[in-house]
A = this chain, B = another copy of it.
Amino acid sequence: MSETIHRAHNFNAGPAGLPLEVMQQAQAELLDYKGTGMSIMEMSHRSKEFEAMLNETEADLRELLNIPSNYKVLFLQGGASLQFSMVPMNLRPAGASADYIVTGAWSKKAVQEAQKLGPTRVAADTKASNYSTLPASLDLDPKAAYLYYCSNETIHGVEFFQEPQPPAGVELVCDASSDFMSRPLDVSKYAYLYAGAQKNIGPAGVVVGILREDLLARVPANLPVMLDYKVQVENNSLYNTPPCFAIYMVGLVMKWIKKLGGLAAIEARNRAKADLLYQTIDASGGFYRGHAAPEARSRMNVTFRLPTEELEAQFVSEAKKLNMIGLKGHRSVGGLRASIYNAVELSDVQALVEFMKEFQKKHG
């Protein structure tokens, strides 16, 4: 890293930091992608250069996640929030019900959108713990079209490390927006899995969807064309102009993850960062208090509190002076949150931990 590059310790919850070398490559080829005399964002999505990039991005994603051949990969727009509607539109047949596990703000929003469109059951809701836990048990409908959950709740900092087990014949659907590709994942357990890119794998503006092929039989006729998984599959995500630059950035991040050694290596790296941060919280004698129950602690979003809101505000403000950005908790829950996605370096977390110790010495 050149000394002249000013880069923040970026703890943003999403959009989040991207790997420096990815950003540098994007910068280097911004005016001229591979000798074409154009940026990747200035060329036709039907050009051979763009299609090659798209196909390579998909191939890298498949390799990293070991995606079985009976799964299709989609690049979609509208964020996870549009998936909240597209999932029931496409995968819940008329008259059928779907089960939802609510463990925080995002799964709750998914339920609300599903309810607008048809029968929806809540199989569990951890509201009683203020969304600090995983559900102790699930009330499952054996006839549900699918069981839906959010693998990591960005706002509350609660993460599933084991998939919930649907009854036989019930499909599993997951919003993996904020822990996607932060660790290995057994795609074969899912009917559909999707993630907004802007946490671990790219900028905002593109969602990656991974759909088991046979689910396409469920897609009803005559959906609005842009909301139809079948149309997107049949057109290799090129029914209309896709978010070209965002997909390209995802492609660069895939190469970066491969270079680091793949998802097992990324997991080890992410675990080391999370362990360091949670150990610091636990060793603070109660000055720092983690929000999530220990077994539910997210490795992506570390949510914690200080003794007072005044101290929390001061923490954010002093951290900012040290170039540490994005530590304020979400406005809906307050407190502090350090998001430590793939691109955050251990050295960023070390800097944060040093600051936390200093801050406690001064104010504890």
Residues of A within 8 A of B (CB): 5-8, 10, 12-18, 20, 23-24, 26-27, 30-32, 35-39, 41-45, 77-82, 84-85, 109, 112-113, 116-117, 196, 198, 203-206, 222-227, 239-246, 249, 323, 325-326
Least CB separation from A109: chain B residue:
B225
Please determine whether B18 and A41 come into contact, CB atoms closer than 8 angstroms: yes
How far apart are A207's CB and chain B's nearest CB, in angstroms?
10
Q: Can you list 8 residue pairs at the A/B interface with Cβ under 8 Å? A: A10-B38, A12-B42, A15-B43, A23-B30, A77-B243, A117-B224, A204-B243, A205-B242
Q: Chain B residues near A206: list those with CB within 8 A.
A: 205
Given A116-B224, A241-B198, A245-B204: A44 and B81 interface contact (C-beta under 8 Å): no
Please determine whether A37 and B8 come into contact, CB atoms closer than 8 angstroms: yes
Least CB separation from A196: chain B residue:
B241
How far apart are A10's CB and chain B's nearest CB, in angstroms?
6
Q: Chain B residues near A326: list those with CB within 8 A.
A: 44
A236 to B35, CA, bound (A): 39
Q: Chain B residues near A112: list those with CB within 8 A.
A: 225
Q: A5-B31, A85-B227 are in contact. List 18 more A-B contacts (CB 8 A).
A: A12-B38, A20-B31, A36-B325, A38-B325, A41-B204, A42-B203, A44-B326, A79-B226, A79-B241, A81-B225, A82-B224, A82-B227, A84-B224, A196-B241, A204-B244, A205-B242, A243-B243, A243-B246
Of B7, B241, B243, which contacts A32 at CB under 8 A?
B7
Q: Chain B residues near A15: list those with CB within 8 A.
A: 41-45, 241, 244
Please determine whether A8 and B36 come into contact, CB atoms closer than 8 angstroms: yes
A326 to B35, CA, bound (A): 15
A7 to B39, CA, bound (A): 9
A36 to B39, CA, bound (A): 25
Given A15-B45, A18-B39, A31-B7: A113 and B204 interface contact (C-beta under 8 Å): no
Please determine whether B7 and A222 come into contact, CB atoms closer than 8 angstroms: no
